[in-house]
Amino acid sequence: MRSSLTRLLPPKSTDSGRCCCTVLVDLLDRCRSPASLRTVGSLHARLLLSGGGGGGGGEQPALLVKLIRAYAACGDLCRARLLFDSVPGPLKNTVFFNVMIRSYVSHRRPRDALRLLSSMSPGPDHYTYPCALKACSDAADLPAGRQLHAAVARLGLDANLFVANALITMYARCGRSDRAFQVFAEMPRRDVVSWNAIIAGFARERRFDRSIAACREMAALRGPAPDAGTLASVLPAMADAAPADIGLVRDLFDEMPAKGPIAWNAMIAIYSNNSMAKEAVGLFARMETAGPEPDALTLASVLPACGQLSAFGLGKRIHEIIKRKGMRPNMVLENALMDMYANCGCLADARDVFDGMRVRDVVSWTSIISAYGTHGRGKEAIALFEKMRESGVEPDSIAFVSLLAACSHAGLLEEGRRYFRSMTNKYRIVPRIEHYACMVDLLGRAGCIEEAYAFITKMPIRPNDRVWGALLGACRVHSNMEIGLLAADELFRLVPEQSGYYVLLSNIYARAGRWEEVTSVRSVMADKGIKKVPGCSNVELGSKVHTFHVGDQSHLQSKMIYRKLDVLLGRMKELGYVAATESALHDVEEEDKESHLTVHSEKLAIAFVLINTGRETPVRITMNLRICGDCHHFAKLVSTIAEREIIIKDTNRFHHIENGVCSCRDYW
């Protein structure tokens, strides 16, 4: 770079001053990274020798401005400031101040920017204010922002598009989206940046409805067309979004001409964040064939979708892309990669990524703790938590959710109690509802149902359905009818539409052989129009994810799958297998219940993998519900009969099954 630039330099003795100046300006403009710092230095020296850039007078101000900007762009703010200070007063116009203030802002030194602003003479102009307002938002300095707003209004500059847009962002980033909206509403003219700024402003304050409404309004009006930035701005507001809203952004995406990586990345992230993993992965595939080159952000956005689908093959291929493109170290990307492996049931691969990381933050540690926890390896999760503390990373609220859940999965009762107490005593983290739910789960599944119930009654916050749900689940495991009914009562009041809790209650009755009550639960469901969520299982074969629903006959290999199931069940019965009919919801004849159970989606998925792969390939299945007792038993037997490793991810944890033994040790 340096040598080519030097070669481009005009001869010193040129008599064409203007031409020389143009070339120099051009060269300086190209110096934008620390690697060009030496080039800037030599150009500066050249100017000094020709008497053009020493600050001693007689310089061309335009060249000096470019030189200051080039030093700043290369990261040498000190030299930029020295040069700035050396410019004689009469020569130091607004442009010099604007360039220096901008340099501070772009190097995240908003305080220096504001200090310089206050000493500015001549006064700021419409180029200064947008940048100064950005400094206020970076410094989260609302009073300073308000002062600037007043000054702007006095000058009548609030009608300037750039100034008004910057005001919107300043107010929004200082937590005043109401004021931001006021500025937006009063603007005589708005461009795409104004809209994006207000959409992002509402999203930032978690006023998701207003953010999406603004996006919708923008799309409906015949004003500026939404662009990639619009998608990026609305993205944080699109967590658990309504299908219609996701449809809206998809339409915007489709209508966008010449889509760049930002639009693709935002759309993929929106799908990922809304558990629409198949759509996210599908869009990524389209991007690979017909879109721009995926970057680190693309990959970090699609990896959670791979985890959701247990698309291990795709996840591994993305890992290869990361290696090939030399994208590491990149902590966010590595966190996503580690989590993908963990969610695909590959704990060892997740650990490899974790071990290879140069820098780890609380997200990295939480991910690996959670990975060990959901795989039933609670003691190791605890050891990692302690290692995290030794390494100087402080746990946050989410880290404790993972840790307590890990204790719960492994039945580590005392450890869980101790860590829960330490949250308040030692770490000054106020337990949230999620932590209480973990504790109820821990106590309940360890068999301390009475204690779990007493714990709920003493909670300082109102228990929600997750808390009561954990208790009801424990009552099913330990067949506690009395407290189970209390929990169910609360649940039917809190979330009368959620079918899962009716199913749990009916399982409790079925286990006790009280079929009359099972029938009455069923009729309550029918009366209220509540349908059981149909079970479904995903399984990856080659590069395709296959989805099976309960009783599915739509698969091309359906006949073979059912034949395989028959063979497996026959072998199992020889080994003494009896269907665990209390797992079935309906009070029907024993034989019917059994046939209902045999078509659970996870059984179909297991048979499908057995047909299509060899013994060395583990069966990896991801479900949308908790695995039922019968399927769990079935999987353990298959692992013996077919000599296969089976890894099932249900909505609660992993079941790593080998030689008839499950990593959950039947504790789930």
Partner DNA sequence: TTAGGGTTAG
Binders in 199-218 for DNA, by CB under 7 A: 200-201, 204
Does 362 engage in binding with DNA (CB under 7 A)? Answer: yes
Give the shortest CB-405-to-DNA separation in angstroms: 4
Structure token digits, residue 336: 């996503």
H-type helices in 187-311, by residue range?
A: 192-204, 208-220, 228-234, 243-255, 261-273, 277-290, 296-309
The torsion angles phi and psi of 495, rounded to 5 degrees, stand at: -135, 70
DSSP, res 205 = T
**Smaller CB separation from DNA, 370 or 601:** 370
**Smaller CB separation from DNA, 37 or 105:** 105
CB distance 20 to 26 below 8 Å: no
**Smaller CB separation from DNA, 166 or 246:** 166
> Residue 595, class by beta-carbon neighbours within 10 Å (0-12 exposed, 13-18 middle, 19+ buried)?
middle
CB distance 449 to 484 below 8 Å: no
Contacts of 463 (CB under 8 A, 6+ apart): 433, 436, 456, 490
Write out the DSSP string of 607-641: HHHHHHS-TTSPEEEEESSPPPHHHHHHHHHHHHH
Give the shortest CB-32-to-DNA separation in angstroms: 13
**Smaller CB separation from DNA, 134 or 633:** 134
Does 134 engage in binding with DNA (CB under 7 A)? Answer: yes
Sole window of 32-40, 209-217, 394-402, 410-418 interacting with DNA (rule: CB under 7 A)? 394-402
Does 173 engage in binding with DNA (CB under 7 A)? Answer: yes
Does 155 engage in binding with DNA (CB under 7 A)? Answer: no
Does 581 engage in binding with DNA (CB under 7 A)? Answer: no
Does 232 engage in binding with DNA (CB under 7 A)? Answer: yes
d(Cα 323, Cα 340) in Å, to the nearest integer? 16
Sole window of 214-222, 369-377, 474-482, 592-600 interacting with DNA (rule: CB under 7 A)? 369-377
**Smaller CB separation from DNA, 35 or 332:** 332
Give the shortest CB-571-to-DNA separation in angstroms: 35
d(Cα 363, Cα 186) in Å, to the nearest integer? 41
**Smaller CB separation from DNA, 397 or 520:** 397
Does 161 engage in binding with DNA (CB under 7 A)? Answer: yes
Which of 27, 114, 300, 446 binds DNA (CB under 7 A)? It is 300
Sole window of 229-237, 450-458, 493-501, 523-531 interacting with DNA (rule: CB under 7 A)? 229-237
DSSP, res 575 = T
Does 632 engage in binding with DNA (CB under 7 A)? Answer: no
Give the shortest CB-513-to-DNA separation in angstroms: 30
Sole window of 12-20, 295-303, 503-511, 568-576 interacting with DNA (rule: CB under 7 A)? 295-303
Structure token digits, residue 579: 């269907």
Write out the DSSP string of 444-501: HHTT-HHHHHHHHHT-SS---HHHHHHHHHHHHHTT-HHHHHHHHHHHHHH-TT-HHH
Binders of DNA among residues 495 to 514 (CB under 7 A) are none
d(Cα 447, Cα 480) in Å, to the nearest integer? 10
Please report where in the chains the tokens 């395709």 appear, as a residue: 544
CB distance 453 to 483 below 8 Å: yes
Does 335 engage in binding with DNA (CB under 7 A)? Answer: yes
Sole window of 54-62, 66-74, 115-123, 130-138 interacting with DNA (rule: CB under 7 A)? 130-138
Total residues contacting DNA (rule CB under 7 A)?
76
d(Cα 610, Cα 464) in Å, to the nearest integer? 41
Does 103 engage in binding with DNA (CB under 7 A)? Answer: no
Which of 47, 65, 166, 346 binds DNA (CB under 7 A)? It is 166
Does 165 engage in binding with DNA (CB under 7 A)? Answer: yes
Beta bridge partners of 548: 537
Does 393 engage in binding with DNA (CB under 7 A)? Answer: no
Give the shortest CB-597-to-DNA separation in angstroms: 26
Binders of DNA among residues 266 to 285 (CB under 7 A) are 266, 269, 272-273
Could you give the string, one character per residue 637-666, with x where binding to DNA holds by CB under 7 A and - elsewhere? ------------------------------
- DSSP H/E element including 77: helix 77-86
Please report where in the chains the tokens 């609670």 appear, as a residue: 378
CA nearest to 627, candidates 668, 572, 581, 574: 668
Does 551 engage in binding with DNA (CB under 7 A)? Answer: no
